A = this chain, B = another copy of it.
């Protein structure tokens, strides 16, 4: 069997703990399916700032470039929050996205049946919610020129939001393709009544839509989308949007499913290469205690298998194992109703490995 190189950047906080369980799951698939993985570890984020003076060391980037896929834990924490920009974990995150050309962030927001009660939304509203946010990840106001200057009214700060047609087209096409494999409904979110970039976005969507005639397209204004996600979450299927709106809406969508601790994400570029990470953050408050929920990271492995490695069967086995363990009532603290019965990170990982 071909050896697949996996770049592992565990990062900060609970990152190393949850990544550890994900690797256990991957190793289990070596036994079950005969796959072969070569794991290489690199420093990234806060820990890289501490040990190497930069959030994204060159050797970590090279390691990622030489890999088939990247598994990322989480980065950041209060320790680095007041650092200057170049010494902040987020700067590493933005840098790695840009350097690896990961222009598309795919975030499924699914409601786990057995976890419906964990949501702040009413179960009947949530029923059937299963959507994907496709977020543009390397353009827009995140990467446009930003600076300060003396203006007519004193000091001012400027951020620039730029999108060219090529950038819009590639992410929108990807979203159409995702929609084609699902229920064939695509909601494109913009603020075309105010922003020029949004008008170009909308025109581009409309121009290429006829090529995906089987997909029904709806344009939704970002403010309205923030509302509709709350009002009728289950009516959305695939949502595509630009970087800043995607940041906000994907977090809102994740939260309404009731457990951010369960959600995985993929960041993709051209080709099959991808970076996979849980949606949740580094949770410094519970780091090192062995109580973090590893499911999001484990499900990120399933996503990696499906989207990058083409290991569809193993992806299904992982997802089924997670479902089985949850159905049997096992919970980590974040998703437990009765906290006294909560199990720890490795116990959850072991249960999933055994259920595979």
Give residues in A with beta carbon < 8 Å to B: 88, 90, 94, 120-122, 125, 141-142, 144, 146-148, 151, 153-167, 191, 193-197, 199-201, 222-224, 226-227, 230-231, 244-245, 247-252, 254-256, 260
Contacts and interface: CB of A to CB of B under 8 A. Distances in A.
Number of copies: 2
A161 B148 contact: no
24 contacts: A90-B194, A120-B122, A121-B122, A122-B122, A141-B159, A148-B196, A151-B162, A151-B164, A153-B165, A154-B164, A154-B165, A156-B165, A157-B200, A157-B201, A159-B197, A191-B247, A223-B247, A223-B250, A224-B251, A226-B249, A226-B252, A227-B254, A244-B244, A245-B248
A167 B161 CA distance: 20
Given A122-B122, A156-B164, 7 more contacts: A90-B193, A90-B194, A121-B121, A141-B161, A146-B195, A156-B200, A230-B256
Contacts of A121: 120-122, 230
A82 B56 CA distance: 46
A162 B167 CA distance: 24
Contacts of A255: 226-227, 230-231
Contacts of A157: 162-164, 196-197, 199-201
A195 B141 contact: yes
Contacts of A250: 223
A189 B244 CA distance: 14
What are the 9 closest A-B residue pairs judged by CB atoms, nearest first?
Answer: A156-B164, A157-B200, A146-B196, A227-B255, A226-B252, A223-B251, A120-B125, A157-B196, A159-B161
A189 B200 CA distance: 28
Given A120-B125, A248-B222, A194 B158 contact: no
A181 B154 CA distance: 30
Contacts of A160: 158-161
B153 A166 contact: yes
Contacts of A201: 157
A94 B194 CA distance: 9
B231 A120 contact: yes
Contacts of A148: 196, 200
A48 B163 CA distance: 33
